[in-house]
Amino acid sequence: MYKGFLLLTFAFVVTAGAANAYENTYAVIVAIDDYENDDVINDVPFLINGASAFYDFLTSRRGGTVPSGNICKLIDKEATRQNIIDRATALFARASRNDRVIFYFCGHGGDGGFAPYDFDGYDWSVLSYGDIKAIFRSASCGTKLLFADACNSGGLKGSSNAHISQSIVGDSSTDDMNIAVMTSCRAGENSIVTSALEMGIFSYCLIQGLGGMANSDGNAYITIQELFYYVYRQVLDKSKMKQTPQLFGKFDLRLIVAKVYSNNARKSNKRIYTNDHTAMKHNKQKLRNGEALNEVKLRNLETQKRETYKH
Secondary structure of residue 107 in the 3-state scheme:
coil
pLDDT at res. 138: 96
Measured distance CA(178)–CA(142) in Å, rounded: 7
Mean pLDDT to the nearest integer, 164-187: 60
Express as a percent the part of the chain with pLDDT over 90.
53
CB 235 within 8 A of CB 201: yes
Q: What local confidence, expressed as pLDDT, does residue 44 receive? A: 87
What is the reported pTM?
0.78
- From the number of C-beta atoms within 10 Å of its C-beta (0-12, 13-18, 19+), residue 169 rates as exposed
Long-range contacts of residues 54-58, Cβ cutoff 8 Å, at least 24 apart:
54/29, 54/104, 54/203, 54/206, 54/207, 55/29, 57/207, 57/210, 57/211, 58/25, 58/27, 58/102
Reply yes or no on whether the pLDDT at 204 is more than 60.
yes
What per-residue confidence (pLDDT) applies to 152? 79
pLDDT(248) > 60: yes
pLDDT band at residue 169, thresholds of 50, 70 and 90? very low
Instruction: Tell which residue, 230, 247, 72, 53, has the closest CA to residue 145.
Output: 247
More confident position, 140 or 267:
140
Averaged over 114-140, what is the pLDDT? Answer: 90
What is the chain's length?
311
Closest CA to 11 of 236, 282, 227, 250: 250
248 or 264: which leads in pLDDT: 248
Find, among 147, 152, 140, 222, the residue nearest to 177 by Cα. Answer: 140
Contact partners, residue 296, CB within 8 Å, separation at least 6: none
Average pLDDT for the chain: 78
Q: What's the pLDDT tens digit per position in 280-300?
A: 444 444 445 554 444 444 444
- Amino acid 164: pLDDT: 54
* 299 contact partners, CB below 8 Å, separation of at least 6: none
Going along the chain from its start, the domains and CATH numbers come out as: 25-302 (3.40.50.1460)
Position 262 pLDDT exceeds 90: no
Checking if the pLDDT of 4 tops 90, the result is no
DSSP label at residue 258: E
Distance CA 154, CA 264 (A): 35
User: How far is 109 from 114, CA to CA, in rounded Å?
Assistant: 5
Instruction: Provide the pLDDT for residue 122.
Output: 87
**In this model, does residue 310 exceed pLDDT 60?**
no
Cβ within 8 Å of residue 144, ≥6 positions away:
100, 101, 136, 177, 178, 179, 180
What whole-number percentage of the chain has pLDDT above 70? 70
